[in-house]
Structure formats: C-alpha cells, structure tokens
C-alpha cells in the first residue's frame, strides 16, 4: 500500500534547495543553475538516472520531455517522492538544476507526470540525475512562468484556454481558435477582453466560424463526418488539469458516440509547453468494440490560401488571410504518418483522418502563426511557413525515448 506523501509545508530545513530555486526565477525552464555542493547537502538521500535518447540527426530545440511517475516507481524507485525531488545534470563535480513541473491530474495528491523542456543534441543521450527523499517535502520550486491555462470566461461557459509564452489557444464548443502575440508573454489572465480587436499584446487572429478552426476534432462513421464541434455536437466536459509554469493541460471528455466501428467515448487532452508554438492533442477512445475508429483534426480553409501537405512527412500547412484586421496567418497540423488514413473536405475545412485503436493514445499537434507577431515565419511567409512546419514535424516525430536506471 502506498503511503500518502508528506504535506509540502514541512520543508523549512531545506532552505538551501529553495534558495537554489529562487536563483532560477529569471531562467528559462531548460536552463541550468549551478550548485557548488552535491544534492545530499540539501537533504536528498536517494537517486536514480534518467536517460533521454535523441536518435535523430537534428538537434531538438526546447523539446518537451514527459516522465511517467508510475513507470519510475515500477522501474527503479518504488518509494519515489514527487514532493521532494529535483533533477540535475552533473558536470565536473558541479550539479546544474533542471527546472521541472510535477502534475497531479486526478487531484488525489499523487503526481502522475513530471515535465521539463530541454534541448536535446543530435544523435545523443542526455543523462540526468533525479534525487529524492522518500519521507519529506519541500516548498514548491518557483521559476519563470511560461505557460498558463484557464477555464470558462464566464460562469458555466463552454470554453477553455491554454497557452505558452509564444501563442495562446482557446476551445469553444469544440472549435479551436488562437491568439497572436506581439511579444513573448502570457495573456489569458487578462481576458475576457475585446479580443477580436487589436490589443497591446496582440489579438484573436482566427475566426473559426462554422469550421473546426485549428484542430477541432472530427470522427468518421464510415465516409460520413461526425464533427465534435458546434452547437448541435455532443458537448465535452472541460477540466483544467495543469496551469504551468512549464506545461498547461486542458482535458475534454466527450459522451459516447456511435459509429460503424462501434460506440466510443473520447477523451482529448490539449497541452502547451514553454518556449513552443504548438498545441499537443492526445486522443483516447474508450470502447468495448474492437473495430478501427477514425478521428482527427479539422483545419479551416483560409481566404487566399496556400496549402502544402506531405502525408509521408506527416504535416499539413496552410497560409492565408486570418480574422478581420488580423492580416495573414498560418495553420498547421502534424501527425504520425503511420496513422494517416486519408483526408476529406467540407466547404469550410479539411479533415485529416487518423486511425485510432480503442484504449491506445493517439498524439498529433496543431500550430498557428501570425505574420505580425512572435510566431511570424518571415517574408515570403507563404513559402516559409510550410518549411517551418516541415521542420517542426521532423522534430516532433523523432522517436525520443526515456529510460530510468538505478545508480
């Protein structure tokens, strides 16, 4: 039986680690903070190794690394305590703090995942040390906030928003729109505002209208579309599960929908990561049926658009006119080529069909760019945006692996 972790208020004795964290206040999450003494000096007792392998020939800049806490306990540290842990990179006898975030999705006081953002060199294995103490806790380590999420704009409203410091997304009745930013920073706390008009931080640059917007979910019942957006679609129950500072996560749970493959209930997790422009979508179908489900994102058609798609490289890139007064914008979807099952089109958007097996998570990504903001691809934008999306797909689809080892 697991022992409930100590309440985080008991760590006054570990001021050394807290001071170390305070020194990182203005550092990016992936940057290191130098410590002259070993982690044992500030109260850590046990440790294990985290190895992150990038098998590809390209550096993965600001890569979002997610560690599964139950997997850690099963592999190397049954007593791993997420209320008193820290990740370090050791070099020449000095320990560099890797700022991370632990998330408890079901609010049972047991963290489910740990996440951090780090650049992985090409064809490399990054070796980190995770130190912990089983029976104690420390105050929550503070760092520069580069991600945030929030629920409805108004009481019982149908929307939620999530953002990195570079871009913000919102889900409204299943449709996804996004906000362009003039400079890096967080803006969702400032809303509601007249976000369809230019603000000092930027504006809402995509009006989804009747379309899926930037990645609204579609199911297919044979050849027929079953859109999970709009006022007549099954409405999801939305929950904010993580609010930063490194990752945000919104979860949408849809009621069961009947298709030719059987009846399936969908859960979709929407997340953004510090210093990244994409929204990651994790789709899980729960069903007693054994048939193949087909689901995927819809991407809005834009006036004056340029469209580039490469199913073998796993991306769709669209550049065209955004919402009124917004200027030009880019929309993109990145998906695993092995899951690709075709496309279809409506009058207002394109659907990307992806195979989904019941009980197995499917991950794809969407991203938005604004020609006036920090995500601008530069001139000529219509040519540069597909190149940027192709590069993004090449990085996101690298099969990075994580392994936990005893010391």
Mean pLDDT calculated for residue range 152-175? 89
What is the reported pTM?
Answer: 0.88
17 pLDDT higher than 60: no
Q: Can you give the pLDDT at residue 40?
A: 86
Mean pLDDT calculated for residue range 224-231? 90
Q: Give CA separation, 68 vs 3, 236, 312, in Å.
A: 19, 26, 30
Nearest to 161 by CA among 149, 173, 153, 172: 149
Mean pLDDT calculated for residue range 223-248? 91
Q: Can you give the pLDDT at residue 196?
A: 63
35 pLDDT higher than 60: no
Mean pLDDT calculated for residue range 61-85? 96
195 pLDDT higher than 70: no
β-sheet with 113-120: strand ranges across = 60-68, 113-120, 101-103
107 pLDDT higher than 70: yes
Mean pLDDT calculated for residue range 357-363? 91
Q: Can you give the pLDDT at residue 222?
A: 87
Distance in Å from the first CA to the final CA of the chain: 25
18 pLDDT higher than 70: no
Alpha helices in 139-178 (DSSP H): none
pLDDT band at 22 (very low <50, low <70, confident <90, very high): very low
Mean pLDDT calculated for residue range 145-165? 88
291 pLDDT higher than 70: yes
């Amino acid at each position: 039986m697991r022992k409930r972790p100590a309440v985080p208020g008991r760590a006054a004795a570990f001021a050394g680690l807290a001071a170390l964290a305070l020194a990182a206040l203005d550092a990016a999450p992936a940057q290191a903070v130098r410590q002259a003494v070993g982690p044992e000096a500030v109260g850590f007792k046990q440790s294990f190794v985290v190895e992150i392998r990038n098998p590809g020939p390209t550096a993965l800049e600001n890569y979002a690394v997610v560690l599964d806490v139950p997997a850690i306990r099963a592999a190397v540290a049954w007593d791993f305590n997420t209320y008193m842990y820290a990740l370090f990179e050791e070099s020449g006898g000095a320990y560099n703090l890797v700022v991370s975030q632990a998330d408890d999705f079901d609010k049972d006081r047991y963290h489910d995942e740990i996440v951090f953002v780090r650049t992985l060199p090409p064809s490399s294995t990054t070796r980190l040390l995770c130190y912990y103490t089983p029976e104690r806790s420390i105050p929550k380590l503070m760092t520069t906030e580069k991600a945030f999420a929030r629920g409805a704009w108004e009481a019982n409203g149908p929307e939620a928003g999530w953002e990195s410091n570079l871009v913000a997304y919102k889900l409204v009745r299943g449709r996804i729109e996004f906000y362009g930013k003039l400079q890096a920073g967080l803006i969702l706390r400032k809303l509601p505002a007249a976000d369809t008009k230019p603000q000092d931080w930027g504006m809402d640059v995509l009006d989804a209208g009747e379309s899926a917007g930037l990645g609204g979910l579609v199911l297919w019942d044979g050849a027929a579309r079953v859109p999970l957006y709009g006022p007549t679609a099954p409405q999801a129950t939305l929950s904010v599960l993580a609010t930063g500072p490194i990752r945000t996560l919104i979860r949408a749970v849809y009621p069961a929908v009947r298709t030719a493959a059987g009846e399936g209930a969908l859960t979709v997790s929407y997340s953004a990561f510090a210093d990244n422009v994409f929204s990651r979508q994790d789709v899980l179908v729960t069903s007693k049926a054994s048939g193949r489900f087909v689901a995927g994102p819809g991407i809005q058609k834009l006036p004056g658009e340029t469209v580039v798609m490469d199913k073998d490289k796993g991306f769709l890139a669209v550049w065209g006119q955004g919402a009124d007064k917004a200027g030009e914008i880019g929309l993109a979807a990145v998906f695993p080529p092995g899951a690709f099952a075709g496309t279809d089109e409506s009058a207002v958007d394109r659907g990307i069909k992806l195979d989904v097996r019941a009980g197995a998570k499917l991950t794809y990504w969407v991203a938005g760019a604004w020609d006036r903001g920090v995500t601008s691809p530069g001139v000529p934008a219509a040519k540069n945006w597909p190149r940027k999306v192709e590069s993004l797909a090449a990085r996101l689809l690298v099969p990075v692996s994580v392994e936990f080892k005893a010391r």
